[in-house]
A and B are shown apart, each in its own frame.
Chain A
Amino acid sequence: MNSRWIPTMCYQCKAECAILARVENGVLKEVRGNPRARGKACVKGMAGVSLEYSPDRLTHPLKRVGHRGEGKFEPCSWDEALHAITAKLRELRDRGEAHKLTASFFPHSITDPKWRFLNAYGGFINTALPHCDSAKIVACIKAMGGVPNHHIPPNFASVPKGGVIILAGRHAMGCLDDAAVPRDILDAKERGAILVVIDPVFTADAAKADWWIPVRPSGDTALFTGMTHHIVMNGLHNKAFTENWIREGDFEKLKDYLADKTPEAMSAICDVPARDIVKLAEMCASAPSVGVDSFKGIMLGQALDFGHAWTNFLAVTGNIDNPGGQPLPDLTPLSPVLPAPAGPSLAEKGWHRTGPDKGRFGKYSFIMEPTWYEAQAIKNGDLKVLVTAECNPALTEMGQEEWRKAVTMTDEKGQYQLEMLVSYEIMLSETSKYADYVLPDKSYFERWELLYMPWWYNFGHGVALRQPVVAAPGECRHSNEVFIELGKRLCPEYFAFKDDLEYYDIQLAGLGLSVGKLQDMGGLWSPGTTGFRKYEHGGFGTPSKKMHLYWEDLEDAGQALPRVFLAPEYDADADAFPFFLISYRTIFHQGSGQWTHNNPQLRDPIGGFRENPVLINAATARRLGIEDGAMVTLRSRTGSLKARAKCTERIRPDCLGLHHGFGSTVGRVAVLGGGVSDNALIPDSGMTLDWQDLVGGESHVSTRVTVEG
Chain B
Amino acid sequence: MKQLSLAIDLDRCIGCKTCVAACRNAKGLVDHASALPGAIPYYLRVESDRQGIYPDISIRSWVMPCQHCKNAACIKACKAEAIVKDEQTGIVRILAEKCTGGRACIEACPYGVIQFDAARNKAHKCDLCWDRVHNGQKPVCAEVCLTDAIRFGEKELLKMELEAEGKEIVKKMSAQSMLYFRTPG
- Chain A residues with a Cβ under 8 A of chain B: 29-33, 40-43, 45-47, 49-50, 52-55, 173, 175, 179, 182-183, 186, 202, 204, 207-208, 212, 214, 587-588, 600-601, 603-608, 610, 617-619, 649-653, 668-669, 672-673
Contacts and interface: CB of A to CB of B under 8 A. Distances in A.
Contact of A49 (B16, B32, B34, B58): B32
Given A52-B32, A649-B54, A30 B26 contact: yes
B136 interface: no
Name A's interface SS.
Answer: loop
B31 to A, nearest CB: 9
B16 A42 contact: yes
B30 to A, nearest CB: 6
Contact of A186 (B12, B34, B61): B12
Contacts of B147: 182-183, 186
A186 to B, nearest CB: 5
Nearest to B53: A649
Contacts of B46: 606
27 contacts: A31-B22, A42-B146, A43-B21, A52-B32, A53-B33, A173-B14, A175-B146, A202-B54, A207-B59, A587-B14, A600-B32, A600-B37, A604-B38, A606-B17, A606-B20, A606-B40, A607-B20, A607-B21, A607-B24, A607-B40, A607-B42, A608-B37, A610-B38, A617-B54, A649-B57, A651-B54, A672-B36
Contacts of B21: 43, 46-47, 601, 607-608
A644 B148 CA distance: 35
Nearest to A202: B57
A383 B22 CA distance: 44
Nearest to A669: B37
Contacts of B57: 202, 649-650
B16 A207 contact: no
Interface in B7-61: 11-12, 14-18, 20-22, 24-26, 30, 32-38, 40, 42, 45-46, 50, 52-55, 57-61
A179 B55 contact: no
Given A53-B32, A600-B30, A607-B17, A672 B37 contact: yes
Nearest to B58: A207
A47 B42 CA distance: 14
A530 B10 CA distance: 32
A214 B14 contact: no
Contacts of B35: 50, 600-601, 604
Given A29-B25, A46-B25, A183-B147, A605 B37 contact: yes
Contact of B17 (A43, A54, A600, A673): A43
B113 to A, nearest CB: 11
B14 A618 contact: no
A445 to B, nearest CB: 12
Contacts of B55: 212, 214
Contacts of A29: 25
Given A42-B18, A652-B54, 6 more contacts: A49-B30, A173-B16, A182-B147, A202-B59, A208-B11, A617-B54
B109 interface: no
B18 A46 contact: yes
B158 interface: no
B159 to A, nearest CB: 20
B146 A601 contact: no
A610 B16 CA distance: 14
User: Which of B26, B42, B46, B144 has most chain A Cβ within 10 Å?
Assistant: B144
B52 A649 contact: yes
A649 B36 contact: no
Contacts of B20: 43, 606-607
A673 B37 contact: yes
Q: What 6 pairs between A and B have smallest CB-CB spacing?
A: A46-B21, A53-B32, A600-B35, A603-B37, A604-B37, A649-B54
Given A30-B22, A208-B14, A212-B55, A182 B146 contact: yes
Nearest to B54: A649
A651 B35 CA distance: 33
Nearest to A29: B25
B14 A600 contact: no
Contacts of A673: 37
Contacts of B53: 618, 649
Contact of B148 (A173, A183, A204): A183
Contacts of B146: 40, 42-43, 175, 179, 182-183
B34 A601 contact: no
Contacts of A653: 54
Nearest to B57: A649
A651 B50 CA distance: 13
Contact of B32 (A50, A587, A649, A651): A50
Contacts of B58: 207
A404 B16 CA distance: 34
Contacts of A208: 11, 14
A650 B54 contact: yes
B14 A182 contact: yes
A601 B24 contact: yes
Given A41-B144, A183-B146, A214-B55, A204 B42 contact: no
A586 B5 CA distance: 30
Interface string B120-164: 000000000000000000000001101110000000000000000
A618 B148 CA distance: 33
Contacts of B143: 32
A650 B22 CA distance: 29
A587 B24 CA distance: 18
Contacts of B26: 30
B29 to A, nearest CB: 10
A37 to B, nearest CB: 15
Contacts of A603: 37
B53 to A, nearest CB: 6
Nearest to B42: A606
A600 B40 contact: yes
A610 B42 CA distance: 16
B24 to A, nearest CB: 7
A29 B24 CA distance: 10
Contacts of A40: 146
B25 A610 contact: no
A183 B147 CA distance: 4
A4 to B, nearest CB: 15
User: Which of B17, B38, B46, B50 has most chain A Cβ within 10 Å?
Assistant: B17
